[in-house]
Amino acid sequence: MTRRELLGGAWYGVSIVLVLSCGSDKEDRSSPDEPGSRQGSVVVPPKETQHFTLAVLDHPLAVTPGQNAIQAWTEGHVPGAALGTELQLTKVPMQGGIKEFLGSQAASGVAVDLIWLPHSEDMPDLFKSGLLAPLDRWLEVDQSAPLEAFAVESRHLVRFRAQTFALPLAIAPVVLAHNSSRFERANLAAPTSDWKWIDFIEAGKSLTEDINGDGTPDRWGFMAPGHFPEWLVFLHQQDVAVVDLDTSQIGMDGPASIRALTAWDELGRVHGILPYGPDTSVARLQGLNDFLQRGMQFTYYFNSLPQQWREVTPLPTGARSSAPLALAEALAVPDAAQGDRVYEALVPLALWIAERRAMPATTAGWQFIQRPDRDHFNLIFAESTQDTLLDALHNAKASHVASSPGLSQGLFNIVTYRLARDEVGIEQAIEQARNWLQNYVGS
């Protein structure tokens, strides 16, 4: 299952709470962000009314948040919004999606002012397309320094080839989800924040079963669903980046990468908690025929997981506490739009939305994870989940691969699938991945 399929399906499985509310750089990235509050800028009335259009995907879970944002703008609840400005909603057809919509607009010479990029889109591919306007020429002269309100890692996710192409609205840290029903049936204690990898492996062994008695496991303790390369987790805990699309630098070299991929490979080859061997198919590796019964999986946290997967914990502890962080939503300006005019609406709208999405791209939004209010409905989580999410947000590191279905699928085919089938060795898989990434970066 690809990330696009998984996240596209999330439009239909998310809680009704999300329907009722919108709530829902190359600097030192080593210091953790701290939740803070943001002061609204001084409002200067314009000489005449200005009209801006906001485009969103034509689905209730995109349209409703867009409508709520426009209502807040109209009622004066968005700090920094100029008086006398008006936002109007434009719906992007589901068929064809954002990229086709932007291409059609560019060809016609008529463009919306702002576009809300949803989590079902391939963000790096959009940044690469030339259909979005780089924002740096405005950000660099903006004395209010709006980027400082966004989490450092989220800023990195909207960078491509040394340019900023959007403002982040929502981010998605990777966590460990477990099937509570299967843990109960196996008399296993649920994962905790203190888990080491040995705890994960032992639980996976207990959850791997031969249901039909043919001597081959057909229900697994852990699965690789494929919406991002699960071995990214091991690379991040070794402080290895696969590729940085801001600098075009490709990683996956050196002993740390070999250690990380070896640890991943051993889940199936040595420990037997993941399908392994020449008969392994994509469907079997990703658990497509037994999705609801898999024991554990690494997953993005979007507040839209199936009920039996709602209990999440931090990833097992490795060499360092880190997890991949994906870009879930962003606000951008089409390249065909009149950017100089639009920028004054982009910043206040992005800051207001980003504080209310799950998970917030601004650190000001993080404080509402443990104390949500009526204005932050999307940030209502079970008490047992709150610490996990805050921990994940503080420790996660930007991953352009996790943010891109195209990159994820390519690396699944080259590395994950071929390692699982024992078709390549670790070093050969790394070399092939680096060659493929070089072509991606250079194209």
Question: Could you state, in order of their start, the residue ranges of all structural domains in the chain?
Answer: 18-171+327-381, 174-325+401-442
State the Cα angle at 308 between 186 and 17, rounded to 5°.
Answer: 160
* pLDDT computed for residue 47 by the predictor: 60
What would the CATH number be for the domain defined by 174-325+401-442?
3.40.190.10
**Mean pLDDT score of the chain:** 87
| Residue 366 DSSP label | H
* pLDDT computed for residue 211 by the predictor: 84
Q: Indicate the range of 47-51, 187-191, 315-319 predicted with least confidence.
A: 47-51
Q: Give the residue-averaged pLDDT of 92-99.
A: 93
Give 14 or 345, the one with higher predicted confidence: 345
pLDDT of residue 10 exceeding 60: no
Q: What percent of the chain has pLDDT over 70?
A: 87
* pLDDT computed for residue 231 by the predictor: 95
pLDDT of residue 440 exceeding 70: yes
Tens digit of pLDDT for each residue in 362-399? Answer: 999 999 999 888 888 888 888 888 999 999 999 999 99
pLDDT of residue 87 exceeding 90: yes
Give 83 or 430, the one with higher predicted confidence: 430
Q: Over the Cα atoms of the chain, what is R_g?
A: 22
| Closest CA relative to residue 73, chosen from 339, 357, 347, 332 | 347
pLDDT of residue 195 exceeding 70: yes
* pLDDT computed for residue 377 by the predictor: 82
| Residue 222 DSSP label | B
pLDDT of residue 405 exceeding 80: yes
* pLDDT computed for residue 21 by the predictor: 39
* pLDDT computed for residue 45 by the predictor: 53
* pLDDT computed for residue 291 by the predictor: 67
* pLDDT computed for residue 31 by the predictor: 45
Give 38 or 232, the one with higher predicted confidence: 232
Q: Can you tell me the distance from the alpha carbon of 437 to that of 443, in angstroms, rounded to the nearest whole number?
A: 10
pLDDT of residue 41 exceeding 90: no
119 touches 172 (CB < 8 A): yes
Grade residue 304 by pLDDT with cuts at 50, 70 and 90: low
Tens digit of pLDDT for each residue in 108-150? Answer: 988 999 999 999 899 999 999 999 999 999 999 999 999 999 9
Q: Give the residue-averaged pLDDT of 414-420.
A: 96
Do domains 18-171+327-381 and 174-325+401-442 share one topology? The answer is: yes
* pLDDT computed for residue 13 by the predictor: 42
Tokens of 299: 């997953």
Strands (E), 2-158: 50-57, 85-92, 114-117
166: region left, alpha or beta (phi > 0 left; psi from -120 to 50 alpha) = beta
Q: Indicate the range of 190-199, 229-238, 306-315 predicted with least confidence.
A: 306-315
Tens digit of pLDDT for each residue in 268-297? Answer: 999 999 999 999 999 888 877 776 677 898
Question: Buried b / exposed e across 244-267, counting CB within 10 Å, b at 16+?
Answer: bbbeeebbbeeebbbbbbbbbbeb
| Closest CA relative to residue 313, chosen from 199, 408, 433 | 199
* pLDDT computed for residue 82 by the predictor: 86
18-171+327-381 is classed CATH 2.60.40.10: no
Give 441 or 305, the one with higher predicted confidence: 441
Which backbone phi and psi does 174 adopt, to 5 degrees? -85, 130
* pLDDT computed for residue 43 by the predictor: 53
* pLDDT computed for residue 321 by the predictor: 80
